[in-house]
Amino acid sequence: MNHKVDAYIQRSEKWPHEMAALRPVLLDAGLTESIKWGKPCFSHNHKNIVIFQEMNDFLSLMFFKGALLKDPEGLLKSQGPNSRSALRIEFTSLEDVSRLADTLKAYVTEAIAVEEAGLEVGPAPELELVEELRNRLDQDPALEAAFEALTPGRQREYNLYFSGAKQSKTRAARVDKYVPKIMEGKGFRDR
């Protein structure tokens, strides 16, 4: 057991008991624990399999390649409309953990097999840029080069944020606000 994971669970005010109950199930399935992205993450041969995500209404156990799992029990839920690979199981009580322990172990075993087989989620569909961003990139070759140099995920995150505004004026203002970060090669959430 990793002492950093111990400390994380002890500090938790939302789901410490559920995490403590899930932890041995994950470790018994052959996973190794560490802290990644500030959260308990469980891996197999240095490949991420699942991570805890504490939400207000539930504890999420997110499978990094959940989209490739069979999900015979129908437990896996989408992370959101723009997530392609990650799926999660939600826990709201210790009873959920107890009831799903054997099923969870089977899902983890399958997730390990997916990772060992080298399976990957297919490529993302071509990114269709919001009009205000596309216009700005067309007018500024340096900005276009900087945007294209970003990772696909960073490009997508910017585009999702820009396209989330209802009015064109707001979308254009969002693009303007983030031009300096894009020019620095930084992602939407980077500091």
User: pLDDT tens for residues 66-104?
Assistant: 999 999 999 999 987 778 899 999 999 999 999 999 999
What is the arrangement of strands in the sheet containing 87-91, beginning at the earlier edge strand?
32-36, 39-44, 47-54, 59-63, 87-91, 77-78
Q: pTM of the entire structure?
A: 0.75
Angle at which helices 152-163 and 168-183 pack, to 10 degrees? 150
User: pLDDT tens for residues 181-191?
Assistant: 999 999 998 88
Domains of the chain by residue range? 3-116, 131-183
Q: Has domain 3-116 been given CATH number 3.50.50.60?
A: no
